[in-house]
Structure 1
Amino acid sequence: MSSTPVVERIVFSTSRTAEFLDWRALQSQTGQPRARFGDVIIKELLDNALDAAESARVHPEIGLAVTWADDVARVCVADNGPGLQGGVIERILDFTRNVSDKESLRSPTRGMQGNAFKTLLGIPYALGVSEPVVVEALGVRHEIAVSADPSGDVATRYTQVDSPRTVGTSVTVPLPAEQVTAEAVAGWLQKFALVNPHARFVDHGQTGCGDGAGIYEPTAPQGWRKPLPTDPTSAHHYDEAAMTKLVFAHIREHRAGGPDPTVRAFTNTFAGLTGSAKAKKVADQVPGITHLSGFEEHPDQVPVLLAAMKHHSKPPTPSYLGQVRRDHYTHVLEHAFGVEEDWFARKQLTDAAGIPWSIEVAIARTKRPGAVCFAVNYSATFGDPLANTHLAGDSFASAGVRSFLAQTDAAPTFGNQSCRAAIVHLVCPVPQFTDKGKTALVVPSEVADACAKALTAATRVLLRDKRSKQAAERRELRAAEREYKAHAVGRAASKVSKKDAVFTVMREAIGQARGAEGLSFSSHTLFYKIRPLALRLLPAGTKLKAPYVEQKLIPDWERENGPIQGLYREPRGTLHHPHDPAGTRDVRLGTREVQQYIPPKWSYNKILVIEKTGLWPPVRESGIAEQYDMAVITNEGYGTEACRELLAKMPPGDVQIFVLHDADPYGYNIARTLGEETARMPDHRVKVIDLGLTVDDAQAKGLDSEPDTRDAALPARILPHLSDPARQWFTGEPCAWQPNGKPAKWRYQRVELNAFSSPELIAYIKEGLARHQALGKVIPPDSALRSTARQRLHHRVVGAVGEAIDAMFRMDRLVPAVYADLDTDQITDIGSADLAQLQARRPSLSWEDAVTTLVDSRMPGDPHLTALARQAVAEQLAADRR
């Protein structure tokens, strides 16, 4: 009997470090969408450069240069710090560990992401750029390029050559050119300059707007100080969990070959405990433990150590957080936007947990369009850190700063109103961020109150002026209405025009639509406010219809008086992308939606505009959009202003635009107005190819015509576009007359697109595309093809690795093992009183989000939870080996 050979199976371990090279994972790690990776790079480089210079205790001099060539933007930031050591770079290249000098520390310093530099190395690869990241410091040029090898690990190409840079560090990161704009670079420089009065910022690249436009000089007086990365932190900033995390971070470093600090030396690193006598008194409270490694066997003694450290030191006051003076904010805002008038407020406090806070708010009325800037701990953020915070003003409340500013007339506005700029800066040694991008904060209620008071103080004058202006407008409107009514008494009622009535009440109607909160409103909402006011001035029985007011009178009023602030047009059409069967990327064509829409690259090179939404199903089912890489816009009737604005956003010559319409005067006019200027859009000019339906085509196809009537003469501007048969059809014959004997109605012939069967319609569209030599399929350049191929390969490999890991590690065994080490009753014991208390501070939360927030706040820290998971995995591996 032959024996079967026994194969000794090898248990493989698969690294997840390649997640630093996947754009989806990088979105999670950075807290920003892929489209903002360029912003991530600029912000992190500026943060690192400032920290490096401050660590060397010199006034920071930060240079930023961006150059664009060969479809690549190279972002370079240089500092005057001590220079990055080669050994630090080698540690950064260990993708299995985070390398940070801030991890576990509680100090009002920037960043604190812990893996920021690794993301800077991974982002170029994730976006399809093969060039290396270049670091120059201490006479050495380090070139680093990372990629994912077939096993899923990070493969690194790392070379060193000589460099002329001996002072400071420069880091250059290559990105796709579209990831970085000159406006974004200028914006980040301005935001960082706003909250760093001790630093000099210079734009060395091609992003400046003129001589000196890219230079921000320091304004801080002699002796000005902010907390530095090298300053001792305070024991009063820590609770027991945070101190335990810090102690065990030191223990982890010791296991990896690092030093094992004594308890006294560790104590000396904290503010107020640098003396040997105090350090001895603290150490005496944990007898038997001489070095931090001793806490590994006695973790219960960490709270004893913390209590002793707090007892022998004083809690810091908010003054140690530093201050940015009002004149500095004014100086930078003047440099960026031109300041006509400005206001400033500062609030400093210590919250109930003993944590100091500083809130600074500067508001300016500017000469040029401004912006709202946010910063936390002397670092610009990606957005509003208080976006989810309830802020109560004197007579209103808002969720977040932007809404607060909008209600006080302090938000940036354009058109016929003055421009605004604002900066809100928070400093705190223990910021509790809710996102990986270090933007959204959770703040105690007393801090939210202080923020609201600072905003109220800084915006008081603007709010008073806004209310005075509104009161004056109401008085003017009432006077105008009285004058108009008195004048109307002496006129025949028939001479009061609808336009005069609507224009008379327009401002009052706008005020009603906007409300005291200053919220946005649709044109249809405005119509409903206009109608009852205007009808009081018109003869009894007069009708005022929405299309006439919304599409004619409101635009006419705007041309005479300027844009109506807050007004938007509701969507009246849809843009359908090809290769999107579920319609997940459909864009509704309203003014706000079109303003936010960015045409995707390499998605389509043709757009077909169809005047009937009901024809989309057969067009979708036919696959013609995918066959021709063609987006389809469906409208009801005339193309809206938003539709024409979207067409105008297309790069000239890159996208062909076709239109399909009924064979009637309105259809011909639709084709014309899509591409030509109109009264509402006098500068609009887009090349539009008319596919029909034309009268000549309808006759040639044998389509049945139908009679119709119209109330006006043919539009003069379409006459040159009409063939003889079309002119004959559309002119028709008078069928009703006015009292003066002129025609009031005409009977004419027309054909709708619906006269086609669905297959006939698709065939007609294809004939038109061929006749007008429609472009071929979308084919990106080779660089984009290779980049996409690499991404697809990487996703397949990552998916395969994930499936292998899932097969090796059974979740039905791992999850209960982790649960066993958690106090699940304490974490999940959530009642209505808990939700009510949280939602009182954050009213915008749903009950599901509130439960998630409470669970997160009760969970152990990520390192502890990760350690439990690793332990469960290790135990399963050991059990499998047995």
Structure 2
Amino acid sequence: MQRTVFSTSRTAEFLDWRALESQTGQSRDRFGDVVIKELLDNALDAAESARVAPEIGLAVSSADGVARVCVSDNGPGIPAAVIERILDFTRNVSDKASLRSPTRGMQGNAFKTLLGIPCALGVTEPVVIEALGVRHEIALSTDPCAEVAIRHTKAPSVRTSGTSVTVPLPTGQVTAAKAARWLRKFALVNPHARFVDHGQTEGGEGAGIYEPTAPEGWRKPWPTDPTSAHHYDEAAMKKLVIAHISEHRLGGADLTVRAFTNTFAGLTGSAKAKKVAEQVPGITHLSGFEENLEQVAVLLAAMKENSKPPTPSDLGKVPRDHYTHVLDQAFGVEETWFARKQLTDGAGIPWSIEVTVARTKRPGAVSFAVNYSATFGDPLARTRLAGDKIADTGALSFLTQADAVPDPSNQLQRAAIVHLVCPVPRFTDKGKTTLVVPREVADACAKALTDASRVLAKDKRSRQSTERQEAREAARQREADARAATQAEPTVTKKDAVFAVMREAIAQARGADGLSFSSHTLFYKIRPLALKLLPAGSKLKAPYVEQTLIPEWERANGPILGLYREPRGTLHHPHDPDGTKDVHLGTREVERYRPPQWSYNKILVIEKTGLWLPVRESGIADRYDMAIITNEGYSTEACRALLAKMPPGDVQIFVLHDADPAGYNIARTLGEETARMPDHRVEVIDLGLSVDDAIAKGLEAEPDTRQAALPARILPHLTDTARTWFTGTACDWNRKGGPRKWRYQRVELNAFSSPELIAYIEEGLARHHATGKVIPPDSWLSATAEGSLRHRAATAVGEAIDAMFPKDRLIDEILAGLDTDQITAISSTDIAQFHTHRPALSWADAVPILVGQRLSDHPGLPALARQAVINYQATERQ
């Protein structure tokens, strides 16, 4: 069979909601938030670039099922030439994409996503940009073959100063209330700007206006400020230099080394620029680095040597009174607490952390911001924060424990803002929300959160102490009542009760339609049935039923048909930068998974999902042809089942874990049989982290408390030092006089810096003789090469045909021979009738099918196509 090679426009990636989810880092139902945030970011940047106090307007209007988001600014106005560059979807257009400074944005494709979102959501109305006396209407559309058309029309506009951008969306995507929330979040961290809500707001006239409060002389880093050479490492500086070279190839200036040096803070003088340029003799312009990229490191070192490193004070400060003013306008403030921590991390990068917590008169909200820009969520969501009394992951969870977030159920009126500023933010997501921060920065964040929430946290602890005392008294009374009520009742164990009702519970969970169900769903069917057989006051907890009793019942009675376990881990394939081949490790996913041929010959299991990003960025998986499994804590049954599917001896399996009892036990249970998987046995190589390795590497140990004895099966694997660390000292005793708690030492993998972690993994792979790269047999290589060659040849044929025949002209001639009105006149009645027979399909699926059906009544379409080609050839010969 001769396969046809198809090609589609990359522009279509901006018109497909799945691709846009990947690019924006937000789900489809949050595209309205993406539009508002990006428009506000752009408007502030425009005004700041012109060095004027920003005046930002936001309006949301709705009509005919379309909501229009309009943001205006008082900047210089977007030139028509810039808009034309934005419409070049083959390139990202950004003035900050390769720079390192505490500014908003840096995505490089944000405006393109704004143009594509309406089409992706089914809105045909154009995006409107008005600036410098011109009104631009831009509409993108795509046909069923993913071919993209860009319609750009221009007309005169009364707007001659600033820019306004209007983006149409479905009404469900955005409301005036949502827009007001975003305006308030941006107003919180921009005291120099005036924000006006032109939509309908509660509170009457003026309720939607946030006036600037910044004192005279206040400043923040502007988008046009010189960046500092100290913000860059060698890779980042190479990226910046290459970006300049690429711009030169497109017709831009080829900067001299001196002129390039002058663009950095502390290097604007000619004398310093000359000294820097002298360190790279023979290279006068940036284009000279194209063949001498190794000299970029020399250039960077000279720039750092001749300039002062930036300090946290350069990042600016939002006054405490401004935070209080905006929160009071929005929610009515009774009392506020504020904390600011500024520091320079181990890499020489300055940081500023500001936290304000308020007790309010009206229900408030928690807001987050990075670099004077509101974020979609908590930027510290994956950061472990350890304060004096509170330790948790994420700022929101930390504030929740401190009683610093609104809680309608307890009538707690609270509001808070957490603002981080850093010239080199490392985001883990395309939505520019979740940050990776060094440990010293995490400690400073925890300190700021602790200081700002100390009063509320203390009040909560006092209240909880009283509640616990009352609960203990009530529990003692209930226990006494239960003992009296059950003295004459026969004893029935929880296991007996669960096993007795299991088949009835399975039937209820599966239902008449025989659908699949989770173990948690099955628990909810078991519990009410089993409690009827147990003494009054008995309880059944989900972990015991789901992790112990259900597997035990399956071992005695066989697998439960339709039962699945949710994914709790991910298999990442090598050579898959976009994660398109990732496998979530649930029971159903693992059952369907077939290891790809000649893809990997090693698997590394890491007990922490948070370490995947530096592992991916290091390229170690690609260098070793090694798949990576990440999960939190103990491996699931699905994960171990996947490892068991690997051909014996063909795939080496490694494990990486914390240096603590749980980590050692994770390494053991990964390969050995357990109560849930009694027949499981896989050869697993333990890379560590061992206690002895942690000591040898000089990693910092941390104290911890355990409430259970050391697992007996890990004892043979412990060295004397590890046994001493993990045994620790008893610190609490039970009623029989035995220890109930122990203080011991442990080391987490996170104690490594990212480069240290990768080096440690590579040392372990070498120590355990990891196999080499995957190389298939010659027959496979030849077949692959032949397929690649045929693909290239087919592509060349397609390009030649496209060059020989004017596709649009041929299509127009074909359509002229058809009754297009009759074929395309599809109404809502037609779609409704179609759905009576095929209700599972959407209208978008239905339209191409109906068109195909109507074309089937026109047998001349192939003939028309052939005749169009013949006519064209005849014309060309004449």
Within the alignment, does 1:456 sit opposite 2:456 as a pair? Answer: no
2:485 corresponds, among 531, 542, 545, to: 542
- Cα distance, 1:155 vs. partner? 1.2
Larger relative contact order, structure 1 or 2 (CA cutoff 8 Å, min sep 6): 1
- The letter of the residue matching 1:541 is A
Contact 2:37 2:374 in 1 (8 A): yes
Q: 2:853 corresponds to which residue?
A: none
- The letter of the residue matching 2:95 is D
- The letter of the residue matching 1:832 is G
Q: 1:315 corresponds to which residue?
A: 309
Greater shift, 459-468 or 219-228, is seen at 459-468
Q: What is the CA RMSD across the aligned residues, in angstroms?
A: 4.3
Q: 1:123 corresponds to which residue?
A: 117
Within the alignment, does 1:356 sit opposite 2:212 as a pair? Answer: no
Contact 2:600 2:625 in 1 (8 A): no
Note the alpha carbon deviations across 1:475-502, whole angstroms, 9 max, x for none: xx5xxxxxxxxxxxxxxxxxxxxxxxxx
- Cα distance, 1:152 vs. partner? 3.3
- Cα distance, 1:857 vs. partner? 14
1:620 corresponds, among 509, 513, 523, to: 513
Distance 1:220 1:377 in 2: 17
Instruction: Indicate how the Cα distance of structure 1 residues 637 and 391 shifts in structure 2: closer, same or farther if over 3 A, else same.
Output: closer
Note the alpha carbon deviations across 1:790-810, whole angstroms, 9 max, x for none: xxxxxxxxxxxxxxxxxxxxx
SS of corresponding position for 1:541: helix
Instruction: Indicate how the Cα distance of structure 1 residues 120 and 386 shifts in structure 2: closer, same or farther if over 3 A, else same.
Output: same
- Cα distance, 1:540 vs. partner? 6.2
Instruction: Indicate how the Cα distance of structure 1 residues 262 and 875 shifts in structure 2: closer, same or farther if over 3 A, else same.
Output: farther
Distance 1:354 1:409 in 2: 35
Contact 2:327 2:415 in 1 (8 A): yes
Q: 1:60 corresponds to which residue?
A: 54
Instruction: Indicate how the Cα distance of structure 1 residues 283 and 620 shifts in structure 2: closer, same or farther if over 3 A, else same.
Output: same
Structure 1 residues 236-385: aligned runs within 5 Å: 236-385=230-379
Structure 1 residues 697-846: aligned runs within 5 Å: 825=623, 831-833=687-689
- Cα distance, 1:256 vs. partner? 1.3
Structure 1 residues 461-860: aligned runs within 5 Å: 461-473=455-467, 505=470, 507-508=471-472, 531-536=475-480, 538=481, 541-542=484-485, 614=507, 619-620=512-513, 825=623, 831-833=687-689
Contact 1:19 1:25 in 2 (8 A): yes
- The letter of the residue matching 1:147 is S
Contact 1:66 1:207 in 2 (8 A): no
- The letter of the residue matching 1:107 is S
Instruction: Indicate how the Cα distance of structure 1 residues 535 and 364 shifts in structure 2: closer, same or farther if over 3 A, else same.
Output: same
SS of corresponding position for 1:374: strand
Distance 1:158 1:276 in 2: 45
Distance 1:330 1:452 in 2: 21
Q: 1:213 corresponds to which residue?
A: 207
Instruction: Indicate how the Cα distance of structure 1 residues 422 and 288 shifts in structure 2: closer, same or farther if over 3 A, else same.
Output: same
Instruction: Indicate how the Cα distance of structure 1 residues 844 and 391 shifts in structure 2: closer, same or farther if over 3 A, else same.
Output: farther
Within the alignment, does 1:188 sit opposite 2:182 as a pair? Answer: yes
Note the alpha carbon deviations across 1:808-837, whole angstroms, 9 max, x for none: xxx999999xx9x97755897985349987
SS of corresponding position for 1:76: strand
Distance 2:142 2:401 in 1: 50
Instruction: Indicate how the Cα distance of structure 1 residues 326 and 85 shifts in structure 2: closer, same or farther if over 3 A, else same.
Output: same
Instruction: Indicate how the Cα distance of structure 1 residues 396 and 205 shifts in structure 2: closer, same or farther if over 3 A, else same.
Output: closer
Distance 2:177 2:760 in 1: 38
SS of corresponding position for 1:190: helix
Contact 2:45 2:104 in 1 (8 A): yes
Contact 1:95 1:154 in 2 (8 A): no
Distance 2:213 2:487 in 1: 60
Distance 1:57 1:350 in 2: 28
SS of corresponding position for 2:442: helix
- Cα distance, 1:417 vs. partner? 3.7
- Cα distance, 1:223 vs. partner? 0.6
- The letter of the residue matching 1:267 is T
Instruction: Indicate how the Cα distance of structure 1 residues 840 and 307 shifts in structure 2: closer, same or farther if over 3 A, else same.
Output: farther
- Cα distance, 1:395 vs. partner? 2.5
Structure 1 residues 348-427: aligned runs within 5 Å: 348-427=342-421
Contact 2:73 2:162 in 1 (8 A): yes
Distance 2:411 2:755 in 1: 42
Greater CA radius of gyration, 1 or 2? 1
Contact 1:827 1:858 in 2 (8 A): no
- Cα distance, 1:69 vs. partner? 1.0
- Cα distance, 1:312 vs. partner? 0.5
Note the alpha carbon deviations across 1:42-100, whole angstroms, 9 max, x for none: 00000000000000100000000001111111000000000001100000001010000
Percent identity among equivalent residues? 68
- Cα distance, 1:259 vs. partner? 1.2
Within the alignment, does 1:178 sit opposite 2:172 as a pair? Answer: yes
Distance 1:82 1:327 in 2: 31
SS of corresponding position for 1:418: coil
Distance 1:115 1:105 in 2: 15
Note the alpha carbon deviations across 1:558-583, whole angstroms, 9 max, x for none: xxxxxxxxxxxxxxxxxxxxxxxxxx
- Cα distance, 1:544 vs. partner? 12
- The letter of the residue matching 1:266 is F
Instruction: Indicate how the Cα distance of structure 1 residues 72 and 283 shifts in structure 2: closer, same or farther if over 3 A, else same.
Output: same
Contact 2:5 2:791 in 1 (8 A): no
- The letter of the residue matching 1:620 is D
Give the TM-score taking structure 2 as reference length: 0.58
- Cα distance, 1:406 vs. partner? 1.7
Contact 1:67 1:206 in 2 (8 A): no
Distance 1:473 1:64 in 2: 46
Contact 1:373 1:424 in 2 (8 A): yes
Contact 2:193 2:211 in 1 (8 A): yes
Distance 2:410 2:11 in 1: 53
Q: 2:581 corresponds to which residue?
A: none
